[in-house]
Amino acid sequence: MTDRVVHADAVIIGGGVAGLSAALSLAGDVVLVSKAKFGTGGSTPSAQGGIAVALADGDSPELHARDTLAVGAGINDHAAVDVLTNEGPARVRQLIMQGAQFDRDAAGRLQFGREAGHGRDRILHANGDATGAEIMRAMSAAVSQRDNVAVHDSTYAVDLLLDRGRVAGLVAIGPGGETIHYATSAVVLATGGIGRLYSHTTNSLEVTGDGLAMAARAGARLIDLEFVQFHPTALVSELDPMPLITEALRGAGAILVDQQGHRYMAAIHPDAELAPRDVVARANWELLEAGGAAYLDATQAVGDAFPERFPTVLAAARRAGLDPRTQPLPVSPAAHYFMGGVDVDGFGRTSISGLWAIGEVSATGAHGANRLASNSLLEGLVFGARAATSVGCSLLPPPALVAVPTVELVSAPSVIAELRSVMWQQVGLIRDAVGLASAVVRLEDLGRQLGDGSGEAANMALAARLVALAARDRTESRGAHYRSDHPEMKDATRRAYSQPTLVTVA
């Protein structure tokens, strides 16, 4: 039974950088549905590393594109990379005009740092290592001033509503538990990634694959599902999510050492600690699996400058009883970013009429098999605005009201705990046929235990199965997808799928 019907020209699901970018660019009556409290939650507020953009002297979009392609392991969509790197500077300038305060030197010039895979200093930071929080503050304030945008926060989007193959609305659960029917001909998914599928993750509690699962159930074309990026350096602690130890620390000269204090990355890759994330993450994983320990040592590179340069890392370490000014930090890889998702064109359009996807839930192809550090915030800015342009050109009259299914949210903490463990151990950094086959069987069983209900648990079960099946079917290693039984690269194609059987489609 529907408790309330809300009519809108467009509904955006998600309040991170991508959703906010779209909201700031859309005209008409827009509703922004946020699972968390507006301005909090999701991945954007916790993004430490910064935003990559070719604005510094000696840099260019062409050089930025070259680095993006090199890290992407041969399957980037070149047109998407060109859009990202060429339109990025204008979007960042616009963000600054909206009030975002990035770090500057004494003369007032923007300061640029360097991270893994970048050949130039092109990473903008805010308050040292609180870039995402500053972007969120500025963009949320700008959205709050828009008369045409209504924010419905603490509201959980359950499923898309379709009519004759096109979007006709959305069913959601409001903060008081009421069922809300959003009647709209345009829905923009900006729901973020899938990090919570893994027992070790830097992603916040909201990042449970909801958008991917909703799109899959609706029959949208999916792509690149096997490519999950693991950040090399999350702080080992009892906290879930694991505190991120920003890559900017390694850009500032921090080194990785083992339990004997031996620096090991220099012997593994010529760029040492600034090698691509998948290389560093696997090195740390193998060290830990062999019974060793990995530490990030910034005592010499940063030392007493931590309070000014990396206050977020300092605070996280202090909560764990550590002081990075004087001691190395114990670190582990953790699930961090999803390069796969809903297949979209250069304007966020999906295979379903009336449905757009932007940000981490989408797969533009800009990241290829392995995202270049700090390109994610930029992608949200650029493609959020581009999707808004497309939505504005595609709006149809309000749809006729369609039937809203009964919503039954399921909760199964023990099932989800096992699911996350299976994904970490068998669909994680290093994969093989035996482990993936076992994972698929177990994940299917866990899905059956959940039944036919809706909600986070059901979405996590579906998303996990989709990722595991895609990883099983790519019998090569490429970027973030590493198969110990197929270590070579041999198939430089993007793989698209349809659900529920995960059939490969042309």
Catalytic residues: 277
Residue with tokens 């192809």: 365
Cα gap 255→266, rounded to integer Å = 10
Residue 398, token pair as written in the block: 């309000």
Cα gap 467→423, rounded to integer Å = 9
Cα gap 118→343, rounded to integer Å = 26
Q: Give SS3 for 442.
A: helix
H helices of 376-455, in order, are 376-394, 413-426, 433-450
Residue 251, token pair as written in the block: 């850009």
Write the CB contacts of 262 (distance below 8 Å, at least 6 apart in sequence).
none
Peptide bond into 89 cis (omega under 30): no
Write the CB contacts of 274 (distance below 8 Å, at least 6 apart in sequence).
114, 115, 116, 117, 250, 251
Provide the β-strand partners of residue 51: 124
Cα gap 203→201, rounded to integer Å = 5
Cα gap 165→16, rounded to integer Å = 28
